[in-house]
Structure 1
Amino acid sequence: MENAVNDVNRRAIARRQLQDLWQAGCDFLGSEVSILGGAMSWVSERHLVSAISNAGGFGVIACGAMQPERLAEEISATRALTDRPFGVNLITMHPELEKLVAVCLEHEVTHVVLAGGVPSGATIRQVRDGGARAIAFAPALALGKRLVKLGIEALVIEGSEAGGHVGPVSLNVLVQEILPYVSDVPVFVAGGLGRGDAILSYLERGAAGAQLGTLFAASAESIAHEHFKKAFIRASARDAITSSQLDERFPVIPVRGLTNSGTRRFMAHQADVLGRFQKGEVSREDAQLEIEHFWAGALRRAVIEGDVEEGSVMAGQSVGMVKTIRPVRDIIDSLVEQAVDALILRDERMSARRVPELAAG
């Protein structure tokens, strides 16, 4: 009985420690736990977003290429499923960005994540003047500091381990570059995160919380096709690779996903286009368009239609930690318990080291 009571007490203390570590993130997001859902096109819609928020996290709608009317519909549908805060991720290069921001403000979205480029000061002011919180991605320290000066209220630093469009630098390096030097706004970490103890390690280094996508993409509430989710379960971390380019004259934006027939055909497609360009059969501009258009609609084919051989199965390297399809609440609870376990284990190790020291003294 005494051991059981002690265990309960230890877990209660560890939970308070965890809460203290990510309290700034929770306060900023208005959530119970400082875990954001990564914005994934075709996946981060009303069902998954509301499930994350209802489970105590912070769901984020992926606007992607949506038009203003479509975004308004998705926000309303999400609000019908949750009374908790959630955000909207907007691509800064969207031709109707100003209207999309206005839709978010009209529907009283609490947080707007500006992604896919550097947001302008005017866009940031529009978000903040409308009463929402402005979040942006910082792939480097200099840009992070610049964004804060422009009025961004929180940063996400996402490592190359993440799924989808990624930069070249790992989360571990970005954390060392950015976290020690940005303290005036909350900083959330992302990329390759699949366990609570890993999240804890970044919290203890100054992060305010974490953003996860891959684990949630394979959740029970995700609308992704069963074939898509099963591909995650089968995959290892080494299966999630970034797309390659054959010639620097025809740049390919790196996208991390599971290797399949489509990725192999993409390499052959680039080689074919390059050969025709070198023979003068196609202009440089047309060659670039042919390369870029190869993946048009490929993400939808994989996520919605279940074509995991020819479609784009975007996934982070944490895909190797997806072992089964679980409800979002179970995923979040597991992350919290793993962090708590890590705190307890650390305290036990420290206590064990103190005993010999005390005896020697």
Structure 2
Amino acid sequence: MPPDITPPDTAATPAAELARLFARGAAFLGARVPILGGAMSWVSERHLVAAISNAGGFGVIACGAMGPDLLAAEIAATQALTDRPFGVNLITMHPALDALIAVTLAAGVTHVVLAGGLPPGGAIRAIKDGGARVICFAPALSLARRLVRLGADALVIEGSEAGGHIGPVSLTVLAQEILPHIDEVPVFVAGGIGRGEAILAYLEMGAAGAQLGTRFVASTESIAHPRFKEAFLRAHARDAVPSVQLDERFPVIPVRGLANEGTRRFLAHQIAVRDRFLAGELTREAAQLEIEHFWAGALRRAVIEGDVETGSVMAGQSVGIVAAIQPISAIIAELESQAEAALAARLARAAPPSPRE
């Protein structure tokens, strides 16, 4: 089914026109509006996920490093807080992926998001055979087409503006590369989205909806530490920067977060480890491990304990748009009203001029 991107009906109300643009993504998710919550470790847990779904969006549990028993408990706790559909994000490299899929299906979860790399075909088949829908991340058009062939029911294209682990390409480029060519399945956009006008623009390009993370972190229902949320309120877009790789011999997976003492120490740590490697004190493998272990536990320290100085304060560039800590329902309502206002202005411009008296 191709996206509905017919010209707007100038006789339609802005609300009706927005509903038309929302229709495909909302139907796929079983939600009132096609706005997904990004799966953020330590943040996207039962309270936030349920709040997003209860407000008409689509919450997604971040499984992360959870084992099957812990995930089962989190799903059950979320179901106790909402009777609306929600999803579970599973990391494809998790050693217990098959067991996590089984737990998710047994709990009756309707949508499974596979992240962290190209998912094995067996995982996609198992999810679909279990009656759930599969959502995958597509960082390029070639991979988007491959994922559709593998059986993905929907795609997310996430730009480098996003918080956390990121790819190298911005959403504005990915949208131009992918949206005109993939219409077999719904495509949701993510990365740097913080206002309804942006969502509207991508809907009109053919997107089925949008995924947001940073805006939802700064919500009253988010369990993130008050200092974590306050850091979002103080930050500008330019403060959300990707982690820096000092030496190509020691790859660093790019992660976008707020610059702080921790990011400065990470650079110094890489220099020290590289010097020890050059001096023959460390093998390349041992040096790589020392670099990778620097951030171990740093996200939890920031999110749960409020260590925003040395912890990892993951945030997207839309952090500069965050101006207040709001209830999830208010955030979604604001996004809708902004999109409707933009549509109203556009429809007014497209309307024929009134005849002169």
* CA-to-aligned-CA distance 1:189-247 (integer Å, 9 cap, x gap): 00000000100000000000000000001100000000000000000000000000011
Q: d(CA) in 2 for partners of 1:253 and 1:15?
A: 42
Q: d(CA) in 2 for partners of 1:37 and 1:258?
A: 20
| Counterpart residue type for residue 126 of structure 2 | Q
Matches within 5 A, 1:27-42: 27-42=27-42
Q: Go from structure 1 to structure 2 and tell me whether the alpha carbon gap of 1:35 and 1:11 turns closer, same or farther (over 3 Å shift).
A: farther
* CA-to-aligned-CA distance 1:6-38 (integer Å, 9 cap, x gap): xxxx99711111111121100100000000000
Task: Report the TM-score, using the length of structure 1 for normalisation.
Answer: 0.95
Q: Tell me which residue corresponds to 1:244.
A: 244
Query: Which structure carries more helix by proportion?
Result: 1
Tell me the secondary structure at the aligned position of residue 13 of structure 2.
helix
2:348 matched to 1:355?
no
Q: Tell me which residue corresponds to 2:7.
A: none
2:140 matched to 1:140?
yes
RMSD: 1.3
Matches within 5 A, 1:1-361: 13-351=13-351, 354-355=352-353
Q: Which stretches in structure 2 are left out of the alignment for 5+ residues? A: 1-9
Counting matched residue pairs gives 347
Offset of residue 355 of structure 1: 3.1
8 Å contact 1:11–1:344 — kept in the other structure?
A: no
Identity of aligned residues (%): 69
Q: d(CA) in 1 for partners of 2:276 and 2:185?
A: 50
Q: Which stretches in structure 1 are left out of the alignment for 5+ residues? A: 1-9
Q: d(CA) in 2 for partners of 1:225 and 1:11?
A: 47
Offset of residue 349 of structure 1: 2.2
Offset of residue 260 of structure 1: 0.1
8 Å contact 1:11–1:340 — kept in the other structure?
A: no
Task: Report the TM-score, using the length of structure 2 for normalisation.
Answer: 0.96
Offset of residue 118 of structure 1: 0.5
Tell me the secondary structure at the aligned position of residue 337 of structure 2.
helix
Tell me the secondary structure at the aligned position of residue 134 of structure 1.
strand
Stretches of 4+ aligned residues off by more than 6 angstroms = none
| Counterpart residue type for residue 219 of structure 1 | S
Q: d(CA) in 2 for partners of 1:134 and 1:272?
A: 43
Q: Mean alpha-carbon deviation: is it higher for 340-349 or for 53-62?
A: 340-349
